[in-house]
Structure 1
Amino acid sequence: MSTNFAILAFFTLMLTYLLICEIFTVLFRLTGLTEETARFQVISMLTTCGFTTSESELITSSRKRKKLAFITILFGYIFSVTIVSMILNFFMRLTGEDSFQLIVKVIVAIISLIIIWYSLLKVNFVKNNFDNFIAQIGIKAMFKNQHNPIMVLGVFKTEVVAEVSITNTPEELLNKELKNSHVRSYYNLQILTVIKDDDRSEPVTGDTILEKGDKIIIFGTLKNIKKLFIKEKQFQ
């Protein structure tokens, strides 16, 4: 195996590893975790670092999260073994390669990897489109019509701004205008925006009726959002 091929293979493998990290982060966010918590959990599982007792409760409290965790850990073991084997094989086969050229190639590969990863995480257009694509697949594959996936967009002290995909309209909202649904009076939630299937945003009024396929941006406590849109027996 030539050093050029080895470096290319390592670069491709690491890029795939980082993409998988982002994919599983999005999938865990769909279960109601914040992005920071989801990313921490995924990195811990992919690197096989393990959890403390309080952190593990986030996973064991949900059957869907436990299934996701199993798949994530499996990927982590596979990639860890593959990467270590590739590195060892690479160095064992090094013969006659100019050290300076090798160092330059490795540095270029690492810099390229950092630029791509930075673009994925920091350039909103790239990250949002990638995350939305994964979220659409995840919603269909993981949830179907079982419950309404919640993706936390921002945290403000005790409240959050979240995106809820309506796949199964709650009984409290079924064919009801918002002014008659007690969303604000009972759950203390405020629906900010309704996004239709065609990505068309509609203003929210008291006469608004939520339909299957809608996405809503909602503000309130995560506990109350889950209470309204997730039935525990369906979520688990």
Structure 2
Amino acid sequence: MGILFMLLYFLIVALVIEISVIAFMLTGLEKEVARYQAVSMLTSTGFTTDESQLILDHPVRRRISMFLILFGAFSLAVIISAITNILSDDLRLNKLIMINGVLLVIFIAGKTPMTKKWLQHRFDYEMKKNLDLSELPIKEALFLNKDDIVTDISVEEHSHLCGLRVTQMTEQSRDINLLFIQRGEVNIRKELSEETIQAGDKLYLYGDKHEIEKLAKENESEKPH
């Protein structure tokens, strides 16, 4: 009876994970990322900083993650208790079977196109209601291709970039966009094309990784005298 109890409860955990994966996918996460994050939150392990921003910056995903974290803590207590009482007859198997049945129905319903469409509509509504522009995950907003990155470059005193106008640096042949220049305590965003790059500037860039790497090498090379 104890082994059956454990198997039924692990089935509940598996169904909760799969239902959460469906919910995460409906908010735009890829399946592999969604499953990894669901397992990570449920077990409180491996919740990576990079991908965790995709969860923390999204109001709907935050709610799903809170449920998974609480369910994971509750599950740990239940499993420890079950192991302690493994020989006990009072394991309430009928209730566990009912819970498995309900979760199985929810899981199957969540896979249907009609339910997915309804949930997606609800999630979109929650996004419009709760998500401020400042909360938009930068990875989802800007990383459109696998080679896209957002990074910064500090301009050295003898850098080849010193004295260049921004339009010269981000010429049309380059897939690079300058988001803003940090000059001391001032962030320059307006009329960037009119700016001339100075030593000590920190350039915040978005674009193709390989093009930005080339630009970084130019920054390291000394300006000819």
TM-score normalised over the length of structure 2:
0.43
Task: Pick the structure with greater CA Rg.
Answer: 2
